[in-house]
Amino acid sequence: MTVIKQVADFVGRWFALLVLLGAVVGLAMPAQASLIAPHVSLLLGVIMFGMGLTMRPADFAIVAKHPKAVLLGIASQYTIMPLLGWGIAHLMNLPPLLVVGMILVGAAPGGTASNVIVYLARGNVALSVAMTSISTMMAPFVTPFLVLALAGSTLDVSVADMFLSILQVVLLPVVAGLLLRTFADRAVSKVLPMMPLVSVTGIVLVVAGVVGANADAVLSTGLLLGLAVILHNTLGLGLGYLVGLVGRLPDTSRRALSVEVGMQNSGLAASLGATHFEPLAALPGALFSVWHNLSGALVATYWARKTPEDAREPEHT
């Protein structure tokens, strides 16, 4: 168990580089890596079950204590990122399937690694956990309709099928993990230290599989799509912080909003793209997984060196 925990700690510290390595393996060994692609939904379900194990009912209590910050954050996430994805994709004249892929990334809930990034960035972790949890619970209802509204004129979008997919691979596993943690907390607590190993391994495999299945597309459109993904994430981080600033939230909460808006559950976006469209629609999600983990690590490193303005003040969010 000690060895497994040490490995889990290692992958938790180096998850950004490991995800990048997954993309490299997908490009270097496309035939082998593409064999993972059909199992992306299963892998995502395992990741989301692990996320559910880390949650408690108390994580939602912050909504009652600080509703303004939570509501502002959720509203920002489900407006800024979908519109940015749609706008950037059209501005760069990306092919229809990549347009849909960018919209899927924007319409996804909060990223599974965002809470760790907020913690390292000395942000409001409770707000981050609440935003990730609530946006994930809302995803089956919100994500399909956002995709329909923004991509319905580009490609045929089945709201009902997408709703069922998110229900199966996101909501049900998360609720199952949450219930197991609630009723068997002592047993679950023993395996929690291993969860970074499960989550990072799952994300690396998803990225490798999607990149491998789209190796030719990565090589032909990689630079343009890479720029689109970088812009999407960077603008999301910046606008998320700006919303917190305009909303007069404390610095720790502004940091949380920045990360939560900028980091998406790109694994879900990749899964939905591959399941309901074509493998190419999954590519923006895979590349976003690589980039937002790298940018998140950079943002965390920067903010970790800067004491939050409200560090010695009580928060009023």
What is the CB neighbour count within 10 angstroms for residue 306? 12
Asked if pLDDT for residue 103 goes beyond 70, the answer is yes
Q: Where are the chain's structural domains? A: 2-304
Q: Which CATH class is domain 2-304?
A: mainly alpha
Residues in the chain, overall count:
317
Token duo for residue 78 = 């489900």
- Residue 264's φ and ψ, nearest 5 degrees, are -115, 160
Residue type, 266: S
- Beta strands in the chain, from DSSP E residues, in sequence order: none
Asked if pLDDT for residue 267 goes beyond 90, the answer is no
- Tell me: the pLDDT tens digits for 69-102? 999 999 999 999 999 999 999 999 999 999 999 9
Q: Is residue 15 within 8 Å of residue 196, measured between CB atoms?
A: yes
Token duo for residue 211 = 């990149």
Can you tell me the distance from the alpha carbon of 127 to that of 135, in angstroms, rounded to the nearest whole number?
12
Least confident range of 32-41, 92-101, 246-255: 32-41
Token duo for residue 305 = 């060196």
Confidence of residue 146 (pLDDT cuts 50, 70, 90): very high
- Tell me: the pLDDT tens digits for 188-232? 888 877 777 787 788 888 888 888 888 888 787 778 999 999 999
Which residue is associated with the tokens 């299963």? 42
